[in-house]
Amino acid sequence: MPVLEKGTDFLKGSVILIDKPLGWSSFDLVNKTRILLQKRFRYKKLKVGHAGTLDPLATGLMIICTGNATKDITKYINLEKEYLATACLGKTTPSYDLETEINHTHPTEHITREKILKILPQFTGKIKQIPPVFSAKKMKGKRAYDLARKGENIELKPNVVYIREIELVEYNRPILVLRIRCGKGTYIRALARDIGESLDSGAHLVALKRTAIGDFKISDAFTLKNFEEKIKFL
Give the active site residues.
55
SS3 content of the chain, % helix, strand, coil (to 5): 30, 35, 40
Chain centroid offset of residue 225 CA: 21
Tell me if 19 sits within 8 A of 218, measured CB to CB: yes
| Alpha-helix residue ranges (DSSP H) falling in 100-223 | 113-119, 144-149, 188-198
- CA proximity to 8, closest of 49, 61, 66, 85: 66
107: preceding bond cis by omega (within 30 degrees): no
Provide the residue count of the chain. 234
